[in-house]
Amino acid sequence: MKNSEKASLEEIFGPVISSYSRAKAIEDGVLIDVTSMALEAGFKWPAALTHAAWCDCVAWTERDSRCQVHQDETGRLWDVLFMAFHAIRTTTDSGDRLRFSLYRVPKDGHSVEAEEVTLKLMVGPGDVGEPVITIMLPNED
């Protein structure tokens, strides 16, 4: 954004009251940076999951493996990223949002069978305008 555009927006809307960067959201744990594994899965841009998506589809402990079925976070994250990448490669839609599904065992203390869950992938600008990917639950923005 040019300085003249910024000045005119501030004239219309006033000064920025508050801002929250993607880097700060990652630092705070609101977003979980998964870029290194996403690159392995074929992604070209930085990627993150929201905390809620992480808790629902990735988070898994040894206790969960003892109570439910043996899994680990690395495998669960790979499943999310693989299915997201597959959805990107096979979609015929265009736009900045894409819903995709995968099967995961819910972390509920007793389930051993995988259930289908839908996630949403969004492409947007990062802190300096670069393309970034965020994977979230369908009701998140």
Predicted confidence at residue 36, as pLDDT, reads: 97
Residues forming a β-bridge with 116? 103
Residues in the chain where the model's pLDDT stays below 70: 1-8
Closest CA to 131 of 35, 57, 19, 66: 35
Residue 65 lies in a domain: yes
| Domain membership flag for residue 9 | no
Task: Decide if 123 is inside a domain.
Answer: yes
- State the total domains in the chain: 1
Q: How far apart are CA 57 and CA 99, in angstroms?
A: 15
Q: Is residue 10 part of a domain?
A: no
Q: In terms of residues, how long is the chain? A: 141
Quick: pLDDT tens for 95-124. Answer: 899 999 999 999 999 999 999 999 999 999
**Does the residue 127 lie in any domain?**
yes
Domain that holds residue 49: 21-136
